[in-house]
């Protein structure tokens, strides 16, 4: 099973700041990496797939990069609605696996 490790677990940031979240896979997942956003009481929402492609309707301030085992999600200028938990997921191998999540908190 591929283990996905996200860092940091929690990030305290101010609106307007630029943030970078990291995700590492225990073995190569090629570019088959997705990022999801989950707000309290809501289902996860697909943000990025193929490591760097924004899903439909996702604002341009969200960008993804990486391949193989190292990936990042960058939010260029945090908006109030971006404070949430972010999960990475590999869908290259079975079983599909998720990282443990990074929580973005308001500083």
Partner 1 sequence: QVQLVQSGAEVKKPGASVKVSCKASGYTFTSYGISWVRQAPGQGLEWMGWISAYNGNTNYAQKLQGRVTMTTDTSTTTAYMELRSLRSDDTALYYCARGSHSGNPYPFDIWGQGTMVTVSS
| Shortest separation between residue 34's beta carbon and partner 1, angstroms | 4
Report the residue number, 16 or 29, with the smaller CB distance to partner 1: 29
Q: Would you tell me which residues interact with partner 1 (CB under 8 A)?
A: 30, 32, 34, 36, 43-46, 49-50, 55, 87, 89, 91-92, 94-101
- If the CB atoms of residues 43 and 60 are measured against partner 1, the closer one turns out to be 43
Burial 62-91 (b: 16+ CB within 10 A, else e): bbbebeebebbbebeebeeebbbbbbbbbe
3-state secondary structure (DSSP) of residue 23: strand
């Amino acid at each position: 099973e591929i283990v996905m490790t996200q860092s940091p677990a929690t990030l305290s940031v101010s609106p307007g700041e630029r943030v970078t979240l990291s995700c590492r896979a225990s073995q190569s997942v090629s570019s088959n990496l997705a990022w999801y956003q989950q707000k309290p009481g809501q289902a996860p929402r697909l943000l990025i797939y193929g490591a760097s492609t924004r899903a439909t309707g996702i604002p341009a301030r969200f960008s993804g990069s990486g391949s193989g085992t190292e990936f990042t999600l960058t939010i260029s200028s945090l908006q109030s609605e971006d404070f949430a938990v972010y999960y990475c997921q590999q869908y290259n191998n079975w079983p599909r696996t998720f990282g443990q999540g990074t929580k973005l908190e308001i500083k």
